[in-house]
Amino acid sequence: MMNGSLEFVKRCEERDIPIHGFMAVQGGKVIAEHYFWPFDESSLHRMFSVTKSFTAIAVGFLAEDSLIGLDDKICKYFPEYVDDNTHPWIKEMSIRQMLMMATCFSQTTYKVLSDEDWVSTFFHANPDHRSGTLFVYDTSSSHVLAALVEKLTGKKMLDYLREKFLDKIDFSKEAYIMEDPKGVSKGGSGLVCTLRDVMKVALLIKDNGKWGEEQLLPEDFIKEATMKHIDTDSFNAEDENQGYGYFFWRSRYGGFAMIGMGCQFFVIYPKMDFVFGVMADTQGVNAGSQILRDIFYDTVYEWVKPQKWEPYALGEDNIIPKYFGVARGKADSFLAKREQDKTSVFDPNPMGLKSIRFDFARRKLDFSMRDNDFTIEYGIGEWAEFTFPGSDQRALASGAWRSENRFLLKIQVVGEDLSPVVIEIGFRTDNAVSVRMKSTSEPAILKNFSGFAGGTCGT
């Protein structure tokens, strides 16, 4: 039988799941750790909703220092947003209910109301049910609690956590939390750090906040935060219907986890003395996050469960791919030769795509979109790195001919707006051409990269 980490990588490759790195620790030993280009142990990676668990810890410190009570009403701390018109269901909402994702809102409020003051939207959106009754995933609750931390401490949330414990576990100095338009730390989605950074925090939580002989986190709060407080069985995904604590998910087989969009997945099993973490971007793969977690449980977890795992270095051999998630297909096509150095012009379309000049021989495409001209260089069977148009963010591109008349270009943004873009170009022999662009996430830099365009090729 193949070593669990090797089998994990093999199955992810077979299912085309783009993992960027993973790590497993048991009994205080690193039993597996590997990264895939261009990521390594020092790469800062967007962790998305893993940030919520850090916000929970910060709230725990506020409670330990008697700056708040968990059953305090949140309106007490933000009187500037409260008046006689504030809905009574908002006024009765407590900090504990917010930690449980049991607010009175069915959606993240700053995505509903157009306001640069994201905190304000939490107090002015229309509630649709009573708080403390049902689990509804609401990122604005964690954002407001991060604002609470910064309001009561006068410090950025990550700086506050550095002073409290992160500096003591050598959390990366380069790590940061992105901010909303008003400068409030994005306590629900903005953490950018290394895989090892989150693993250190996960190991600390596994031991109820103890690091060596020193108690760094409030023990009682950590125990409470990782317990189930509310049902989540309305979710279909197995790893999201096990219940929820205080910004921690309960996991199958009695564990608990920090989970972020794209399958930033850090699962903790104290009784097995085991922590596993993976950073990835599954946003472009249908049910990709659940597939990745299923692969983990079928491979790594099955090896660890008997507690007979021996440390194993994956090494640099033919079994381990250097690149994950690249476009699959042929490197060439008769249409590649026909369209070489030619430009396709497109009819008016919502994306504002005007033209594409094809240079398949040198593996690059020149785009004219709206008022922006840019070039994407891509790899065949590998990634090529470039700067994403209209931003300063790193991105990767890989291309392949999926058939004689269809070219696929896969793009992976690897900066703060970690997300995929897929561009398909379909040709006809009579010089008709169509383009479909698909982005599966929300960053503003991707807003034009979604839709269809049709035109004529070969000019």
Residue-by-residue DSSP string for 99-140: HTT--S-SS-HHHHS--S-HHHHHHHSPP-S-TTSS----HH
Q: Which residue, of 304, 322, 346, is where some domain finishes?
A: 304
Same domain for 291 and 371, yes or no, is no
Same domain for 187 and 233, yes or no, is yes
Same domain for 221 and 357, yes or no, is no
Q: One-letter amino acid identity for 114?
A: S
Is residue 321 assigned to a domain?
no
Same domain for 380 and 285, yes or no, is no
Same domain for 119 and 196, yes or no, is yes
> How many domains does the chain fold into?
2
Please name the helix (run of DSSP H) or strand (run of DSSP E) that holds residue 95, with its range, or none.
helix 95-99
Please provide residue 451's backbone torsions phi and psi, each rounded to the nearest 5 degrees. 140, -170
Is residue 103 assigned to a domain?
yes
CA dist 210 → 61, 164, 247, 314 (Å) = 15, 13, 20, 30
- pLDDT, tens digit (0-9, with 9 covering 90-100), for 90-143: 999 999 999 999 999 999 999 988 889 999 999 999 999 999 999 999 999 999
The pLDDT assigned to 321 comes to 62
Same domain for 292 and 351, yes or no, is no
Q: pTM for this structure?
A: 0.87
Tell me how far apart the alpha carbons of residues 191 and 46 are, in angstroms, rounded to a whole number: 6
The pLDDT assigned to 459 comes to 66
Please name the helix (run of DSSP H) or strand (run of DSSP E) that holds residue 432, with its range, or none.
strand 432-439
Is residue 77 assigned to a domain?
yes
Same domain for 288 and 339, yes or no, is no
- Give the Cβ contact number of residue 392 at 10 Å: 9
Task: Give me the CATH number covering residue 413.
Answer: 2.40.128.20
The pLDDT assigned to 51 comes to 98
Is residue 310 assigned to a domain?
no
Tell me how far apart the alpha carbons of residues 106 and 135 are, in angstroms, rounded to a whole number: 9
What is the dihedral sign for C-alpha 327, 331, 336, 342?
positive
Tell me how far apart the alpha carbons of residues 263 and 47 are, in angstroms, rounded to a whole number: 9
Provide the residue-wise pLDDT of the chain in tens; the chain has 459 residues. 346 788 899 899 889 899 999 999 998 899 899 999 899 999 999 999 999 999 999 999 999 999 999 999 999 999 999 999 999 999 999 999 999 999 999 999 999 888 899 999 999 999 999 999 999 999 999 999 999 999 999 999 999 999 999 999 999 999 999 999 999 999 999 999 999 999 999 999 999 999 999 999 999 999 999 999 999 987 777 778 899 999 999 999 999 999 999 999 999 999 999 999 999 999 988 888 999 999 999 999 888 875 554 544 444 444 556 677 888 899 888 888 888 899 999 999 989 999 999 999 999 999 999 888 999 999 999 999 999 988 888 999 999 998 888 899 999 998 888 888 999 998 888 888 999 998 876 677 777 888 899 999 876
Is residue 11 assigned to a domain?
yes
The pLDDT assigned to 114 comes to 84
- DSSP 3-state of 272: helix
Task: Give me the CATH number covering residue 156.
Answer: 3.40.710.10
Task: Give the domain extent around 444.
Answer: 334-456
For the record, the structure tokens of 375 come out as 């070039």
CA dist 448 → 350, 399, 423, 440 (Å) = 8, 20, 12, 12
**Strand pairing partners for 19?**
280
Same domain for 382 and 286, yes or no, is no
The pLDDT assigned to 316 comes to 44
CA dist 444 → 232, 261, 281, 283 (Å) = 31, 17, 18, 16
Same domain for 156 and 38, yes or no, is yes
Is residue 206 assigned to a domain?
yes
Q: Which residue, of 261, 283, 304, is where some domain finishes?
A: 304
Same domain for 290 and 214, yes or no, is yes
Q: Which residue, of 304, 322, 344, is where some domain finishes?
A: 304
State in Å, rounded, how far the first CA of the chain is from the last one: 56
Tell me how far apart the alpha carbons of residues 289 and 75 are, in angstroms, rounded to a whole number: 36
Same domain for 372 and 417, yes or no, is yes
Is residue 326 assigned to a domain?
no
Is residue 414 assigned to a domain?
yes
The pLDDT assigned to 235 comes to 76
Same domain for 287 and 356, yes or no, is no
